[in-house]
Amino acid sequence: MTHTDTIAAIASAPGAAGVGVLRVSGPAVPAIAAELFGRDPEPRRAHFTAFRESDGELIDRGLLLYFPAPASYTGEHVLELQGHGSPVLLDALLRRVCAIGARWARPGEFTERAFLNGKLDLAQAEAVADLIAARSHAGARAALQSMEGVFSRKVHDLLQSLIALRVHIEAAIDFPEEEIDFLADPVITQQLHALRAELDALLHEAQRGVRLNDGLRVAIIGRPNAGKSSLLNALAGSDRAIVTDIAGTTRDVLREQLNLDGIALELADTAGLRDTDDPVEREGVRRAHGELARADVALLVTDVGHAEHDLALLADLPSHVERIVFVNKIDLGDHAVGYDVRADAIWVWASAKTGDGLEALRNHLKQLAGAGGGEGAFSARRRHVLALEQVAVHLARADDVLQATRAGELAAEELRQAQHALGEITGTYSSDDLLGAIFSSFCIGK
């Protein structure tokens, strides 16, 4: 893909800084570089030079770096100008570059060109944005892994297995008289089952990748006065939520971004879940239910006397939501601090007020958020998880069809659709709408 226009943008963050960076990409770069430098710059070499207006007036002094295509970020000729980090100077420099032969870049346009030129695939391009936006060390590390292609390679491996199986089955279709026997071959079933297992593992890793990227979403629920706001404050280490003795104080949903030892959490303190006639409170309860629908974890706050009864609040949750029962206020009774893995939920006995027993909760949340994923843990987006879930559906259907009817055509069609869904992750198949949605959320200059 060759672009005929040349794009330019300030790549460093807005505002005053020690150094500011201007980036230019496209066919006009050699001409722009020669005009600014007075002669052709040497590739990949830092030249200290004066940046001047066309009439010779000095704009700034700084470094000029020239990366000829295709060995550059975008795959095109790229010029990087480093000057003083003054918005005024950088703006003047940008105008000068555009006057010679470039236009302002749209958000994400450099990375979009890198994608279109095959420098990185779509999942890697998304990881670039996620890396820049990372809110925790674990998130940044994971995004870096994805940018390096760890996730993409796994998708690619899965794709290879899928294609091999498709070829196998489609070969059988081409020989109708032998098709039945061929499809009965246990090797085909084994291959398909191995593929499904491989996919399940990747889906799990991708789900963890989303949590590492977005932060674990925890919805705190429970009766009014159970201690939800107190727990939020204890975890956040501040008094952001309002703690009072009057039931029903937290009427809106309070959100807190938290960084637990390098792991990102998003805590939402919801209104108490109880039937109520107060319209304002009822709205809070409605939002609490909405919060649960988008949460990774439902954290039920209760106390020793109500625990079994309140457990009903955790019923009817989607199966992917992790459940934690936080039995609060043990400082008032004689129950000990504790932690128990039960079938219905993880149980923690603690006190939000004194902090006793909170460490177990913190550790568990960190595990759920993706800590301990190891060196290879990669970031992912919800879009990727949805695509992998689609793949899982098609593989399950192919499996059913083969077991029940040995209808090779139908199985082959399911595999074809599975392959398409996988290809959407890395951008083998992508629409302009998808690309637009992805790259428009980037910063300018990236």
What is the size of the binding site for ligand GDP (CB under 6 A)?
Answer: 22
213: partner contacted, choices ligand GDP, Zn ion, none (Cβ within 5-8 A by kind)? none
Residues 6 or more apart whose Cβ sits within 8 Å of residue 258: 235, 236, 264, 265, 266, 267
CB 113 within 8 A of CB 8: no
Q: How far is 380 from 385, CA to CA, in rounded Å?
A: 8
Comparing C-alpha atoms, which of 109, 10, 108 is closest to residue 62? 10
Q: Any known ligand binding at 245?
A: yes
Q: CB-wise, 124 or 230, nearer to ligand GDP?
A: 230
Among 222, 284, 370, 373, indicate the residue that binds ligand GDP (CB under 6 A): 222
Residues for the chain: how many in total? 446
What is the size of the binding site for Zn ion (CB under 5 A)?
Answer: 3
Sheet hosting strand 47-52, strand order edge to edge: 47-52, 58-67, 78-85, 17-25, 7-10, 103-104
Q: CB-wise, 117 or 250, nearer to Zn ion?
A: 250
- What would you report as the CA-atom Rg of the chain, rounded to the nearest whole angstrom? 28
* Binding range to ligand GDP, per CB under 6 A, among 113-121, 276-284, 290-298, 351-359: 351-359
Contact flag: residue 427 with ligand GDP (CB under 6 A): no
Binding flags for Zn ion, 236-265, as an x/- string (CB under 5 A)? --------------x---------------
Sheet hosting strand 338-341, strand order edge to edge: 254-260, 263-269, 216-221, 297-303, 322-328, 346-349, 338-341
Q: Any known ligand binding at 226?
A: yes
Contact flag: residue 334 with ligand GDP (CB under 6 A): no
Residue 161: Cβ-neighbour burial (10 angstroms; 0-12, 13-18, 19+): middle
Contact flag: residue 328 with ligand GDP (CB under 6 A): yes
Q: CB-wise, 121 or 256, nearer to ligand GDP?
A: 256
Contact flag: residue 225 with Zn ion (CB under 5 A): no
Contact flag: residue 228 with Zn ion (CB under 5 A): yes
Q: Any known ligand binding at 45?
A: no
Q: Which residues, 240 to 259, sit near ligand GDP by CB under 6 A?
A: 243-245, 249-250
Q: How far is 167 from 187, CA to CA, in rounded Å?
A: 13
Q: Any known ligand binding at 440?
A: no
3-state secondary structure 155-177: HHHHHHHHHHHHHHHHHHHCCHH
CB of 310 to Zn ion, least distance (A): 15
Contact flag: residue 228 with ligand GDP (CB under 6 A): yes
Tokens of 401: 């069809």
Q: Any known ligand binding at 272?
A: yes
Beta bridge partners of 63: 48, 82
Q: Which residues, 359 to 398, sit near ligand GDP by CB under 6 A?
A: none
CB of 241 to Zn ion, least distance (A): 6
* Residue 369 backbone phi and psi in degrees, to 5: -75, -5
CB of 8 to Zn ion, least distance (A): 51
* Binding range to ligand GDP, per CB under 6 A, among 90-98, 205-213, 238-246, 340-348: 238-246
Q: How far is 71 from 95, CA to CA, in rounded Å?
A: 26
CB of 127 to Zn ion, least distance (A): 37
Q: Any known ligand binding at 357?
A: no
Contact flag: residue 224 with ligand GDP (CB under 6 A): yes
Q: How many CB atoms lie within 10 A of CB 306?
A: 15
Q: Which segments of 5-116 are extended strands (E)?
A: 7-10, 17-25, 47-52, 58-67, 78-85, 103-104
Q: Any known ligand binding at 426?
A: no
Comparing C-alpha atoms, which of 210, 217, 167, 213 is closest to residue 188? 167
328: partner contacted, choices Zn ion, ligand GDP, none (Cβ within 5-8 A by kind)? ligand GDP
List binding-site positions for GTP: 225-230, 244-250, 269-272
List binding-site positions for Mg(2+): 229, 250
Give the footprint of ligand GDP on this chain (CB under 6 A): 222, 224-230, 243-245, 249-250, 272, 301, 328-329, 331-332, 351-353
List binding-site positions for K(+): 225, 244, 246, 249
Give the footprint of Zn ion on this chain (CB under 5 A): 228-229, 250
